[in-house]
Amino acid sequence: MLQGKTVLVGVTGSIAAFKAAQLVSDLVKLHADVHVLMTKNATNFIHPITFETLTGHKCLTDTFDRNFEFEVEHISLAKKADALMIAPASANVIGKIAGGIADDMLTTTLLACTCPILISPAMNTRMYENAIVQENMEKCKAHGMTIIEPASGLLACKDEGKGKLPPVDVLIEALLREIRFEKDMKDLNVLVTAGATMESMDPVRFITNHSSGKMGFALARVAMQRGAKVTLIKANTSATVPSFVKTVNVKSARDMYEAVRAVSGSMDIIVKAAAVADYTPAEVAGEKMKKKDGELSIPLKRTTDILAYLGQNRRPGQLLCGFSMETENMLENSAEKLTKKNVDMIVANNVKVEGAGFGTETNVVTLITKGGAEELPIMSKDEVAGKIFDALLRIKEKKEDQQRQELKEEIEPKDE
């Protein structure tokens, strides 16, 4: 995910400094080129050799360190950095940053950086809530830096409250949001649906399917990382919900229809990746249905076709993408859905194909548009999500070019 990216990690004098080792290790696993800068106080909590072993680079603590080419180290690092993350960030260092003080390797490098800067405070709750510390963080925000909210819980001093360093996966997600992709979807409003709807039969039982929500979550995550403002409407899922997206929880197909209808008008791109039940029990029993001798029949009724509703009520310029999971005649059935439901693209896959089943980390899809079908090889779901948005942005650009041409023809005088 971070191949070719240079990430600077600043570690300050906080008991949470030991957690930075896991952060650095995970960044290295994502193929980032990681350099660690420590304050003198941080070395009292964790030894620089730990980071040198993990990164393969010297851990820098001295402002006047020079590399073998006699470059001033803090300047050379600042020039090639794609991001600087300070985790944990003590109240002391946050105050220095807010005041423009550069008296060690970390703060000197930070002032020379033009890349995104992320600060993850970690300290006692009373220190964190101190008005001066809050004012310093607001000042950092005003200068374009990102403050990652600390977690709440039992602190090292045995107090309970806000001030813990967030889990490493939260820090990684914040970093990926900043630098993983170019922001080619900046300011676009994107709606993604995900997960399996649950149709109640009685207070105990329900009808559902095997969808894990992983594909929908990958779509929401990638759109967010590419700069979009993402709303995720999710039904039942087993996957981890992505950070930095607005999440709306629903249960049934009717719930999802109402939630989608409420926000669809403001969306630029809608991707319907949820596995929505086509049928729901005609009546829901008020009490648990007791087991009896013989067969049991449950009358079902059709649910509202959400994708068809969106196709019938789309606003000009809006892009619609649906999913089609088939077990036979995949291309024919999906192409028919493209036209019938008035959408721009159908993402088709066959559940019987290896790597494309429920709950997997991969998918095998074919992108079907009016221009034809593009069959993709087996990929991670994040990679598939990227290809889907690449295709949608091409459609968007083509439509905008066509609109500009039509407008030009209307304005230009015609030959008599």
Question: What residues make up the domain containing 223?
Answer: 189-404
Q: Let me know whether 106 and 231 are in one domain.
A: no
Q: Let me know whether 18 and 108 are in one domain.
A: yes
Q: CATH number, domain at 261? A: 3.40.50.10300
Q: Let me know whether 196 and 267 are in one domain.
A: yes
pLDDT band at 70 (very low <50, low <70, confident <90, very high): very low
pLDDT given at position 416: 52
Q: Let me know whether 26 and 146 are in one domain.
A: yes
Q: CATH number, domain at 55? A: 3.40.50.1950
Q: What angle do CA 259, 347, 357 make, to 5 degrees?
A: 95
Give the residue numbers annotated as catalytic, written as ranges.
157
pLDDT beyond 70 at 413: no
- Model pLDDT for residues 207-254, shown as the tens digit of each residue: 999 889 999 999 999 999 999 999 999 999 988 899 999 999 999 999
Q: Let me know whether 281 and 374 are in one domain.
A: yes
The residues near 262 (Cβ < 8 Å, ≥ 6 apart) are: none
pTM score above 0.75: yes
Q: Let me know whether 146 and 128 are in one domain.
A: yes
Residue 413 lies in a domain: no
Q: Where are the beta strands (DSSP E) in 216-357?
A: 229-234, 246-249, 269-272, 279-281, 300-302, 319-326, 345-350
CA atoms of 218 and 176, how far apart (whole Å): 13
pLDDT given at position 157: 73
- The percentage of residues in the chain with a pLDDT greater than 90, rounded to a whole number, is 74
Q: Let me know whether 110 and 253 are in one domain.
A: no
Q: Let me know whether 136 and 254 are in one domain.
A: no
* Omega within 30 of 0 (cis) for the link into 88: yes
Residue 410 lies in a domain: no
pLDDT given at position 21: 96
Element (H, E) at 117: strand 117-121
CA atoms of 343 and 374, how far apart (whole Å): 16
pLDDT given at position 161: 79
Which of 127, 154, 179 is the last residue in one of the domains? 179
Among 114-118, 170-174, 293-297, 299-303, name the one with the lowest average pLDDT.
Answer: 293-297
CA atoms of 369 and 378, how far apart (whole Å): 20
- Model pLDDT for residues 284-335, shown as the tens digit of each residue: 989 898 888 888 888 999 999 999 999 999 998 999 999 988 777 888 888 8
Per-residue pLDDT, averaged over 176-181, amounts to: 94
Q: Which residue has the higher pLDDT, 138 or 64?
A: 138
Residue 153: count other Cβ atoms within 10 Å of its Cβ.
11
Which of 179, 199, 227 is the last residue in one of the domains? 179
Which of 128, 155, 179 is the last residue in one of the domains? 179
* The length of the chain, given as a count of residues: 416
Q: Let me know whether 144 and 198 are in one domain.
A: no
Contacts 24+ apart (CB under 8 A), 377-384: 378/354, 380/218, 381/214, 381/215, 381/218, 382/1, 382/218, 382/221, 382/222, 384/215, 384/218, 384/347
Q: Let me know whether 18 and 160 are in one domain.
A: yes
pLDDT beyond 80 at 73: no
What does the mean pLDDT of the chain come to? Answer: 91
How many independent structural domains does the chain possess?
A: 2
pLDDT beyond 50 at 392: yes
Among 49-53, 66-70, 133-137, 259-263, name the one with the lowest average pLDDT.
Answer: 66-70
